[in-house]
Structure 1
Amino acid sequence: MAKDKSTKIWIKHHIEDPYVKLAHQKGYRARAAFKLIELLDSEKINFKNKKIVIDLGSSPGSWSQVMRERMILPDGSMNGKIIALDMLPMEPISGVDFIQGDFRDYDTIEKLKKYISNQSVDIVISDMAPNLTGIASADSARVQHVCELAMEFSVSHLKNNGVMIVKAFHGAGFSQIVFLYKKFFKSVVEIKPRASRANSSETFLIARELKQRLLDF
């Protein structure tokens, strides 16, 4: 009964959430779109030149929708490429290429290389989060592992002046994640967007300009 009550409370808060309502109005698939919008604006990430963007853990697709808005030209063509990857299916988005698969797998990476013609990437975005258990030590280890996987992918595929945006969570292990990112990137900024729920420990790291590759570490 207690679980049913808490579920009903969550649903009520979700329905009444202003960002949920705004997402419906603007056609975004999730309220998370507004987190990325604030991150891009606050860090003044520009899209003047053609960009190659990778969206890790993209489903349901709201972050890819935002990137498409930033990259679409008046004639309807794209100022670059957006490749979304997820193990879950994702409804198509015009101008976004989708690969269903695990980005750690060889076959998925080979498909990605074909999409980008073996070029380096300008921006990697990741709103991925692990399934949490409620056990603090286990959850912090899972969060750290996801952040490390995203970083390893980015360090392998980004241009030297590339940008990475990744979701993390404050708590045990967070300082170690930041420390690790700072080993590989010249700039690492922490931001909690206004669209992030007040009771959530999530925060986002914006990492810029590679200092070294994994092979150099």
Structure 2
Amino acid sequence: MNRSRSSNAWLREHVNDAYVQRARAEGFRSRAAYKLVEIDDKDHLIHPGDVIVDLGATPGGWSQVAAKRIQGQGRVIAVDLLEMVPLRGVTFVRGDFREQEVLDILGNLLGTEKVGLVLSDMSPNISGVSACDQARGMYLAELALEFARNWLKPDGAFLVKFFQGHHFADFLSEMRKNFKLVSARKPDASRDRSPEVYLLGRILKA
């Protein structure tokens, strides 16, 4: 079957993308790695010795960055519905984060440890129906926020992808209810046309 014009255009853009080429040259699994690199360079979220949980991790770009930057001190736990090729220094949990079974596995892995950083780059399967995609994205972000509330250290941080649109103000309000410091980040590696933005919450409110 022949590719559609839009598919061919996307493929050409992807192949020629500077961040795609850079990721290949530097050994990162995805161009998304540079989103976390830029945010962490600015906000200093990753600290050696911390436990880091990466939700929606596959193919592993963010987990690679986190594992490299904790320098063998601490743990990175990655979660995704899709399989991920193993990474040194990363414990992978395959499963649906919406299911209690996966939350129980995470709870067993963490034990009594609190998490220094929760990362969520989760995204729903895009249907092309804006209202539907927004609602699904909102649900995933809310689940990630709930996990962060339950497991973060008091001075920990939560970085979550959110798609700007109808529910953005509501979710931003929820973030501000739970964190003393809330800011938005749009890294250079995030394509201009994408409505994604990363919300960063720091220091849990009591």
Counterpart for residue 81 of structure 2: 87
When residues 136 and 15 of structure 1 are mapped into structure 2, their CA distance, relative to the original with a 3 A threshold, is same
Distance 1:104 1:9 in 2: 34
Alpha-carbon distance, 1:88 to partner: 1.2
Q: How many residues are matched?
A: 206
Distance in 2, Cα, partners of 1:156 & 1:25 = 38
Alignment partners' CA distance in 2, 1:3 and 1:133: 19
Q: How far does residue 110 in structure 1 lie from its aligned partner after superposition?
A: 2.9
Tell me the distance in 2 between the aligned counterparts of 1:94 and 1:164.
23
Could you state the TM-score of these two structures normalised by the residue count of structure 1?
0.90
In the alignment, structure 2 segments of 5+ residues that lack a partner are none
Contact 2:46 2:66 (C-alpha < 8 Å) held by counterparts:
no
Q: Superposition RMSD on alpha carbons, in Å?
A: 1.7
- What amino acid maps onto 2:51 in structure 1? I
Describe the SS at the equivalent of 1:45.
coil
Identity of aligned residues (%): 39
The answer on whether the counterparts of 2:46 and 2:117 sit within 8 Å (CA) in structure 1 is no
Counterpart in 2 of 1:215?
Answer: none
Gap runs ≥5 in structure 1? 73-77, 213-217
Provide the C-alpha distance between the structure 2 equivalents of 1:70 and 1:135, rounded to a whole number of angstroms: 38
Amino acid at match of 2:52: V
Q: CA deviation at 1:52?
A: 0.4
Measured against aligned partners, the alpha-carbon deviations of 1:7-31 in whole angstroms (never above 9, x if no partner) come to 0000000000000000000111100
**How far apart, CA to CA, are the structure 1 residues paired with 2:167 and 2:46?**
31
CA deviations on 1:8-58 (whole Å, 9 max, x unpaired) are 00000000000000000011110000000011111122515x100000111
Q: Cα offset for 1:159?
A: 1.0
| Structure 1 position 68 matched with structure 2 position 62 | no
Q: 2:53 maps to what in 1?
A: 54
Q: Residue deviations 1:80-118, cap 9 Å, x none?
A: 011111121110000111111223433323322332232
Match of 1:21? 21
- Hey, what does 2:182 align to over in structure 1? 188
Aligned to 1:210: 204
Tell me: CA distance 1:208–1:138, structure 2 relative to 1, closer, same or farther (3 Å).
same
Asked whether the equivalents of residues 46 and 70 of structure 2 are also in contact (C-alpha less than 8 Å), the reply is no
Q: Name the counterpart of 2:41.
A: 41
Residue number in structure 1 paired with 2:4: 4
**Contact (CA 8 Å) 1:113, 1:119: kept in 2 or not?**
no
Task: Tell me the CA shift for residue 2 of structure 1.
Answer: 11
Q: Against the structure 1 CA distance between its residues 144 and 109, is the aligned structure 2 distance closer, same or farther, given a 3 Å change threshold?
A: closer
* Partner Cα separation in structure 1 for residue 100 and residue 18 of structure 2: 41
